[in-house]
């Protein structure tokens, strides 16, 4: 029998039930995100909530940053009956649907506390769903399908962002945000049902025990009760800052006393809470030490909320520098093996630290240039916000999606190392588009008219009416954004596939992927201050030249790790 062609293989992969499930789960992952971001801000503004409260409620998105902390619990304890990962998918998706339906009846202006609690709940269950979606994608995909799986996940995610971040604005204008939220809650409920019908069932791990999960769920209720009781008692006496750690300690004590008699894994839950308390302690000590240092030295504007980006970065890095070691120390002291064992599994492998460094460096040039791209286009070149928004949301989003799909298809032929290398080079070279804009300026290649109706544009512009724009698009701007997003989409597909290859299928895939994906965001989060400083010193053209140089260390490290990456892919194929 002849071997199937590359086209036949691609067609079989794209039409498989597993890939359909990954596309659906990508959509489910992206749907709630905008509801804790721009959509929520619009809802609060429409309900005449003051600007300070709106600013504070931006913090409801923190669960997305710290989701790796509870990923070990979702690895270890699985709901019964539905198969591995699918039980958690059902619970998180139904919780999201219920919260959205309940939230639809809450008036932000009338009960801002309850509204904020619902928003935090949506962010928490959405981040938890992301943990399970990422782990399911790792567990269900064959090695040669990683690139396609990554691309389809991104495609579903982008479509969902248009739904909740664009189309929802138009619906809300017609029927209000409350009913729009209810519609999205109903959509999430439908996704929960469809996920169970489409997603293939994965076998449970050997240690799965239904009674153990039920006892775990009971322990969570005990923890919630002890935290609530402690907060209720101590907030009036000690204030919020001191009551929160006291509540965590009370939860640890309650878990030890009650759960210890229930089942053998009680130390894991207590260890999880001890780890959170350790992280909070390190964070608080670092922050207060810096504040006291600033007061003693008489430095003005030396606080976590400083307008100086360098001071803000100093606080963030110092807080993380102490919070992470304190959390790990607490995890060791409390024997939180659900985190410690996966970490040992990863760090005992060959080239573990080199792979971590590659994850950080791989998209650094992309992040370095992209973090100031809107500022560059608006202030550096003089494009209107309407034109930038339309090109970014329409041309850029389409190019990102197409780039991800093309990248996924090419990965089936090029394999992992060659894909990382080729797409990494394209990411670096794509910054030439912005460099060309900096050198030649606006209108260098003329303009063209974008054939989109006003209603279509409003979907891409999060429901905003496009003003101060005649419909013309600068050709050089469109070309630069297309190339940048196309290459970025291909690079993202390759990086996600690399993360999937580093995750061992089985019990700890959620924990491994959550840790590695958190590292992948380091460059995007922390290069902002240095980018702004460089622009002031060298100008935009030289800045983009430097951004391309920033990508060279990652490519050099990738070249150095060529044999290790090929060995990694070969080993994972052999173990499948």
Q: Find the CATH number of the domain harbouring 371.
A: 1.20.1250.20
Q: Is residue 283 part of a domain?
A: no
Structure tokens at 564: 């290790």
Residue, of 314 and 86, whose pLDDT is higher:
86
Q: What angle do CA 241, 246, 251 make, to 5 degrees?
A: 135
Domain boundary among 156, 174, 208: 208
What is the per-residue pLDDT for 1? 47
Residue, of 302 and 437, whose pLDDT is higher:
437
Position 459 confidence tier, pLDDT thresholds 50, 70, 90: low
Structure tokens at 383: 């494009």
Cα dihedral angle (448, 454, 458, 461), rounded to 10 degrees? 20
Domain count, the chain: 2
What is the per-residue pLDDT for 221? 74
**Span 140-193, pLDDT tens digits:** 888 777 778 888 888 888 788 777 766 777 777 778 888 888 999 999 999 999
Identify the DSSP state of 201: P
**Span 103-147, pLDDT tens digits:** 988 888 888 878 888 888 888 899 899 999 998 998 888 877 777
Which residues, in sequence order, are CB contacts of 303 under 8 Å at separation 6+?
A: 291, 294, 311, 315
Q: Is residue 288 part of a domain?
A: no
3-state secondary structure of 472: strand
What is the per-residue pLDDT for 11? 60
Q: How long, in residues, is the chain?
A: 576
Q: Is 362 exposed, middle or buried (0-12, 13-18, 19+ CB in 10 A)?
A: buried
Residue, of 528 and 383, whose pLDDT is higher:
383
Which residues, in sequence order, are CB contacts of 23 under 8 Å at separation 6+?
A: 152, 153, 155, 156
Q: How far apart are alpha carbons 396 and 43 in whole angstroms?
A: 26
Domain boundary among 145, 173, 208: 208
Residue, of 406 and 320, whose pLDDT is higher:
406
Which residues, in sequence order, are CB contacts of 70 under 8 Å at separation 6+?
A: 128, 131, 272
DSSP string, 327-394: HHHHHHHTT-HHHHHHHHHHHTSTTHHHHHHHHHHHTHHHHHHHTTHHHIIIIII---HHHHHHIIII
Structure tokens at 205: 């791990």
Average pLDDT rounded to a whole number, residues 517-524: 70
What is the per-residue pLDDT for 263? 54
- Residue 380, domain extent: 352-575
Structure tokens at 470: 């005649």
For the cut 70, the answer to whether the pLDDT of residue 56 exceeds it is: no
3-state secondary structure of 447: strand
Find residue 449's DSSP bridge partners.
Answer: 472
Q: Is residue 225 part of a domain?
A: no
Q: Is residue 412 part of a domain?
A: yes
- Cβ contact 445:472 at 8 Å: no
For the cut 80, the answer to whether the pLDDT of residue 30 exceeds it is: yes
For the cut 70, the answer to whether the pLDDT of residue 8 exceeds it is: no
Among candidates 230, 208, 329, 316, which has minimal Cα distance to 278? 329
Q: How far apart are alpha carbons 274 and 280 in whole angstroms?
A: 10
Per-range mean pLDDT, top range of 95-99, 213-217, 455-459: 95-99
- Max Cα distance, the chain (Å): 80
Question: What pTM, to 2 d.p., does this model score?
Answer: 0.79
**Span 249-277, pLDDT tens digits:** 666 666 655 555 555 556 677 777 788 78
Which residues, in sequence order, are CB contacts of 442 under 8 Å at separation 6+?
A: 381, 382, 383, 474, 476, 477
Average pLDDT rounded to a whole number, residues 405-419: 82
For the cut 90, the answer to whether the pLDDT of residue 194 exceeds it is: yes
Residue, of 7 and 82, whose pLDDT is higher:
82
Least confident span in 54-58, 75-79, 299-303, 445-449: 54-58
Q: Is residue 276 part of a domain?
A: no
For the cut 60, the answer to whether the pLDDT of residue 411 exceeds it is: yes
3-state secondary structure of 443: coil
Q: What angle do CA 498, 500, 506 make, to 5 degrees?
A: 150
Q: How far apart are alpha carbons 99 and 484 in whole angstroms?
A: 38
Residue, of 282 and 448, whose pLDDT is higher:
282
- Cβ contact 122:35 at 8 Å: yes
Q: How far apart are alpha carbons 466 and 388 in whole angstroms?
A: 11
Q: Is residue 528 part of a domain?
A: yes
Cβ–Cβ contacts within 10 Å for residue 412, how many?
17
Tell me the average pLDDT of the chain. Answer: 78
Q: How far is CA 449 from the centre of its chain?
A: 35
**Span 362-387, pLDDT tens digits:** 888 877 777 677 778 877 888 777 67
Q: How far is CA 292 from the centre of its chain?
A: 34
End-to-end distance of the chain based on CA atoms, in angstroms? 23
Q: How far is CA 232 from the centre of its chain?
A: 33
Among candidates 429, 442, 440, which has minimal Cα distance to 541? 440
CA atoms within 13 A on the CB side of 458: 14
**Span 277-335, pLDDT tens digits:** 888 888 888 888 888 888 887 877 777 766 665 676 677 777 777 887 888 888 888 77
Q: Is 369 exposed, middle or buried (0-12, 13-18, 19+ CB in 10 A)?
A: buried
265 — phi, psi (to 5°)? -90, 20
- Cβ contact 388:464 at 8 Å: no
Domain boundary among 208, 243, 271: 208
What is the per-residue pLDDT for 187? 92
Give me Rg for the CA atoms of the chain. 24
How much of the chain exceeds pLDDT 70, in percent?
76
Average pLDDT rounded to a whole number, residues 471-491: 83
Q: Is residue 289 part of a domain?
A: no
Residue, of 252 and 406, whose pLDDT is higher:
406
Q: Is residue 299 part of a domain?
A: no
Cβ–Cβ contacts within 10 Å for residue 541, how many?
16
Position 513 confidence tier, pLDDT thresholds 50, 70, 90: confident
């Amino acid at each position: 029998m002849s071997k199937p062609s590359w086209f036949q293989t691609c067609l079989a992969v794209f039409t498989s039930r597993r890939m359909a499930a990954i596309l659906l789960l990508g959509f489910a992952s992206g749907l709630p995100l905008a509801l804790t971001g721009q959509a929520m801000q619009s809802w609060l503004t429409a309900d005449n909530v003051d600007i300070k409260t709106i600013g504070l409620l931006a913090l409801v998105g923190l669960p997305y940053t710290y989701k790796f902390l509870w990923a070990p619990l979702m690895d270890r304890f699985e709901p019964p009956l539905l198969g591995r990962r699918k039980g958690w998918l059902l619970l998180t998706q139904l919780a999201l649907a219920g919260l959205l339906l309940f939230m639809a009846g809450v008036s932000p202006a009338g009960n801002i506390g309850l509204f904020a609690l619902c928003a935090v709940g949506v962010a928490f269950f959405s981040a938890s769903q992301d943990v399970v979606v990422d782990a399911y994608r790792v567990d269900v995909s064959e090695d040669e399908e990683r690139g396609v799986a990554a691309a389809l996940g991104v495609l579903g995610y982008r479509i969902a962002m248009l739904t909740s971040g664009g189309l929802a604005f138009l619906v809300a204008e017609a029927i209000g945000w409350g009913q729009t939220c209810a519609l999205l809650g109903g959509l999430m409920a439908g996704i929960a049902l469809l996920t169970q019908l489409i997603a293939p069932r994965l076998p449970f791990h050997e240690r799965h025990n239904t009674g153990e999960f039920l006892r775990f769920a009971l322990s969570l209720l005990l923890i919630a009760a002890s935290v609530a009781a402690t907060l209720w008692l101590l907030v009036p006496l000690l204030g919020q800052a001191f009551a929160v750690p006291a509540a965590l300690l009370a939860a640890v004590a309650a878990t030890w006393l009650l759960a210890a008699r229930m089942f053998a894994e009680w130390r894991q839950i207590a260890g999880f809470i001890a780890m959170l308390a350790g992280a909070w302690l390190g964070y608080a000590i670092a922050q207060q030490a810096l504040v006291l240092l600033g007061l003693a030295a008489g430095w003005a504007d030396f606080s976590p909320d400083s307008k100086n980006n360098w001071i803000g970065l100093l606080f963030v890095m110092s807080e993380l520098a102490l919070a992470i070691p304190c959390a790990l120390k607490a995890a060791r002291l409390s024997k939180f093996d659900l985190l410690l064992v996966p970490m040992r599994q990863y760090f005992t492998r060959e080239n573990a630290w080199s792979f971590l460094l590659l994850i950080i460096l791989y998209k650094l040039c992309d992040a370095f240039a992209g973090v100031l791209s809107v500022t560059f286009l608006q202030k550096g070149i003089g494009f209107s916000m309407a034109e930038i928004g339309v090109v970014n949301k329409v041309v850029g989003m389409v190019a990102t999606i197409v780039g991800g799909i093309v990248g996924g298809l090419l990965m089936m032929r090029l394999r992992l190392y060659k894909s990382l290398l080729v797409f990494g080079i394209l990411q670096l070279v794509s910054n030439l588009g912005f460099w060309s804009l900096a050198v030649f300026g606006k209108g260098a290649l003329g303009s063209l008219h974008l054939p989109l109706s006003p209603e279509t544009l409003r979907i891409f512009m999060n429901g905003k009416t496009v003003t101060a724009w005649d419909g013309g698009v600068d050709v050089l701007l469109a070309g630069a954004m297309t190339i940048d997003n196309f290459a970025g989409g291909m690079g993202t597909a390759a990086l996600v596939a690399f993360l999937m290859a580093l995750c061992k299928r089985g019990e700890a895939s959620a924990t491994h992927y959550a840790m590695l994906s958190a590292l992948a965001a380091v460059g995007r989060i922390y290069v902002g201050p240095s980018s702004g400083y460089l622009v002031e010193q060298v100008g935009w053209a030289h800045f983009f030249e430097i951004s391309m140089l920033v990508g060279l260390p990652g490519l050099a490290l990738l070249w150095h790790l060529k044999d290790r990456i090929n060995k990694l892919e070969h080993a994972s194929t052999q173990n499948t």
